[in-house]
Amino acid sequence: MYKRQGGGLPVWVLNDPDAIHQILTKKQPSYGKGVGFERVKMLLGDGLIVSDGEHWRKRRQMLQPAFTRPSIASATGLIRTCIENRMSVWDAHAESGEPLDISEEANQLGLRIILRSIFGDDLELLDAREGGNPFHMVTNTHERDLMFAMRFRQLWPVVREIAEVRRERGGPLGQDFLGRFMGSVDKESGEPLDMQGLVDEIMTLLIAGHETTAATIAWAWSLLARHEGVQEELRSEVMGHVGLKPPEASELKGLDLSHRIVHETLRLYPPVWMFSRQALQDDVLAGYHVPAGTQILLTPFLLHRRPEFWDEPERFDPGRIPASGIAPVRGAYIPFSAGPRRCAGDLFALNVVVQHLAWTVGRYHLSPVEPGAPELDPGVNLRALHPIRLRVRRA
């Protein structure tokens, strides 16, 4: 535990798995989201990721059906189409020998997948807009400053417009996230989301789901390129279970090594490398008195590399976390957080990354251009400081 006295209230860095598990699960109602989410609030209003208390509880209950296993499995086809549409880029790199910037590639793919999952067929209307799809601004800059916030808010009326057109059109609202969110009602009042609530939750999905998933794809490929043996084992697993065709939703579960690789990637390179909580009342954690108001930083990146819990923590070893993602030491592996506020999109993200690995590894072999692990850029998400360039050849 590391404690720093800031200008006002103390800020703690908590790195003890048991205490982390407690504040995320049993003691969750006693901790708010904290200082790390203040900037994001500017972008996402009262969306799930930043809201707290009763407002959050009701919303999470209301929207949870959109994130269940069957709902996510039903998105497998559209995710597949997005992956397939990028294959021409991979083919061109395999042809020309020109290295592929996997960070940029994963970013483009990640944005396409989340937009398609939110807006379904209406995405084509957005693509056809004069000046291009306005949501592409999200990948053009990685700064999350005031300027970004101002441009991001200009997307609100676009979401509103699509929702209004859908409602006026009548008939089914759709099986994409927008349709599911529009059709959800508060369990107690029976009321649907109001328009600003809908906009906040859609924008939350965009911010929460895009860069995180893209970073995981990029880091997974960066690791596989540097570990030829594991890449070969993955290829054998996929060829044995699925072959060269894209995997069906029912086949994904059987891809044990693929899931292990994703979990080991998330251990070494957790996209959400740090997040915060704030004590709402006095508490005791790991034997220390925690005054109400204390800001607490949780750092998956440091926690996932503690030698007390991970043997040779720097080593890429997909054997150490089971495919279920339940790590041997409780509270020592939290890429998706834990407890009631665990990431709502975890199943979605796993579906995307496992599908991507499984489909592409059968077709392509990737190797690094630059030797060694990429330098890190710990911004809002954990990204590589420089483009990760990989050489692509047909497998």
Residues that bind ligand HEM (CB under 6 A): 33, 48-49, 60, 204-205, 208-209, 212-213, 216, 271-272, 275, 335-337, 341, 343-345, 348-349
Q: Residue 367 pairs with which residues in a beta bridge?
A: 391
Query: Closer CB to ligand HEM, residue 185 or residue 369?
Result: 185
Q: How many residues does the chain have?
A: 395
Question: Smallest distance, Å, CB 357 to ligand HEM?
Answer: 13
The residue (of 77 and 243) whose beta carbon lies closer to ligand HEM is 77
Whole-angstrom distance, CA of residue 325 vs CA of residue 333: 9
Comparison of 118 and 366: residue with beta carbon closer to ligand HEM: 118
Q: Which residues are registered as beta bridge partners of 288? A: 285
User: Of all residues in this chain, which one has the CB nearest to ligand HEM in the complex?
Assistant: 345
Tokens at 200, concatenated: 């906040």
Closer CB to ligand HEM, 232 or 346, in the complex:
346
Which lies closer to ligand HEM via its Cβ, residue 234 or residue 338? 338
Q: Residue 287 Cβ, how far from ligand HEM at the closest point, in Å? A: 24
Min dist CB 338 to ligand HEM, Å, is 8
Measuring CA to CA, which residue among 249, 283, 281 is closest to residue 73? 249
Contacts of 128 (CB under 8 A, 6+ apart): none
Q: Minimum CB separation from ligand HEM for residue 212, in Å?
A: 3
Q: Measured between alpha carbons, how far is 381 from 15 in angstroms, rounded to an integer?
A: 19
Please compute Rg for the chain using Cα positions: 21
User: Minimum distance from CB of 60 to ligand HEM (Å)?
Assistant: 5
Min. distance of Cβ 334 from ligand HEM in angstroms? 7
**Helix and strand counts by DSSP (H, E) for the chain:** 17, 12
Q: Which is nearer to ligand HEM, 45 or 271 (CB)?
A: 271
* Paired tokens of 274: 């740090």
In whole angstroms, give the CA distance from residue 45 to residue 165.
23
Phi-psi region of 371 (alpha: psi -120 to 50; beta: other; left: phi over 0): beta
Under 8 Å between Cβ of 271 and 382: yes
**Smallest distance from the beta carbon of 360 to ligand HEM, in angstroms?**
17
Q: Is the CB of 205 or the CB of 327 nearer to ligand HEM?
A: 205
CB of 85 to ligand HEM, least distance (A): 19
Q: Which residues pair with 13 in a beta bridge?
A: 2, 297
Q: Where are the alpha helices (DSSP H) in the chain?
A: 17-24, 38-44, 53-63, 69-73, 76-96, 102-119, 123-127, 137-140, 146-153, 156-169, 177-183, 195-226, 228-241, 249-252, 256-268, 300-303, 346-361
How near is the Cβ of 395 to ligand HEM at its closest, in Å?
Answer: 25
What DSSP state is assigned to residue 293? T
* Structure tokens belonging to residue 377: 């850029």
Neighbours of 283 (CB within 10 A): 19
Q: Tokens 């006002």 identify what position?
A: 8
Minimum distance from residue 205 beta carbon to ligand HEM (Å): 5
Instruction: Pick the closer one to ligand HEM by CB: 72 or 290.
Output: 72
Query: In one letter, which amino acid is 247?
Result: P
* C-alpha distances out from residue 248 to 73, 244, 371, Å: 9, 12, 35
Q: Of 122 and 201, which CB lies nearer to ligand HEM in the complex structure?
A: 201
